[in-house]
Amino acid sequence: MNGTLYGVGVGPGAPDLITLRAFRIITGAPVIAWPAPDVGDSFARSIVAASLRPDQIEIAIRIPMRTERYPAADIYDQAAEEIAAHLEEGRDVAVLCEGDPFFYGSFMYLHERLAPRFDCQIVPGVSSVMAAAGALGLPLASRNDVLTIVPGPSDDGNLRQQIAAADVTVIMKLGRHADRVRALIADMGLTGHSHYAERVTIEGAAFTCPLSDLGDRPVPYFSMIIVQRSTQLAATGDRS
C-alpha cells in the first residue's frame, strides 16, 4: 500500500505556532521533505528542527531564489520522483511548508505532480498575514471589509488599482520592491494608514512599525505592508 503525501503548513516562524496536527504528522512521518535556497538553511525546517529525529529520512528541495524566471520545473520533477519512490514503498512523506501550503507556497508544484498518483492531505497553517496583524495589534479585517493580498512584484498600475478598490491591502514579499511600493503608497496619501511588519514570529528577528517610521531600514523578502484605506470596525455584532 502506498504512503500518504502530507503538505504540512508550519506557520509563520515561531515553533509553537504549528498546529497539533502538524506536530503529530511531522513527528510521525518516516520521511520529511523541505524547501531550501540553493545555499544555506531551510526556513521551514528551522521552525520544526527541535522536533525532528535522526532516524527520519530528510529530502532537501533546493530552489534558486533570486534568478529571474529560472526553469525550476526540473527541480520539482526530480523532487517529486524522489518523494514518489518513498510513497511507493509505503512510507508517508511530510513536506514542510512555510505558513500555509496553498497560500503562495511552492508545495503546489509537488501537489500537481503527485496528487494525481497518491493520497495527498493538506494540513493548513497559520499565515504570516495573520501573524503580522497580531504582532502589530492591528485588526486586519472586520464586518464587510474587502481584504486584498498583492505580491510586491506587481506592477504600479495593478498595485494602485488594488489598493484603491480594497478596504485593507496587504502587500507581501517586498524585498527589492519595497522602495517602489512605499513611493506609490506615499503618492496615494496612504503612508499614515500603513504599517510595516517583518519576520513577525521569528524569535529575536521580529520587527514592526508604522510605515512612516521605517526610514532607511533594509527590507527583506519576508516582510509586508498593511494599508488600511478604510475599515468598518464597529461593534454591532451584525451578521446579516
Q: Which of residues 188-227 bind its own copies (CB under 8 A)?
A: 201, 221
74-103: which residues touch its own copies (CB under 8 A)? 75-76, 100-103
The one segment of 8-16, 26-34, 180-188, 191-199 that binds its own copies by CB under 8 A: 8-16
- Judged by CB under 8 A, the number of residues near its own copies is 84
Site for its own copies, residues 163 to 182, rule: CB under 8 A = 165-166, 173, 175
Minimum Å gap between C-beta 222 and its own copies is 11
Under rule CB under 8 A, residue 115 binds its own copies? yes
Type and span of the H or E element at 36: strand 31-37
- Which CB, 32 or 166, lies closer to its own copies? 166
Residues 6+ apart with CB under 8 A from 181: 152, 159, 171, 174, 225
Asked whether position 23 contacts its own copies by CB under 8 A, the answer is: yes
Measured CA to CA, the distance from residue 10 to residue 144 in angstroms comes to 29
Q: Which among 94, 109, 8 is positioned nearest to 58, based on CA atoms?
A: 94
Q: Tell me how far apart the alpha carbons of residues 148 and 178 are, in angstroms, rounded to a whole number.
A: 18
Contact 34, 58 (CB under 8 A): yes
Which is nearer to its own copies, 30 or 153 (by Cβ)? 153
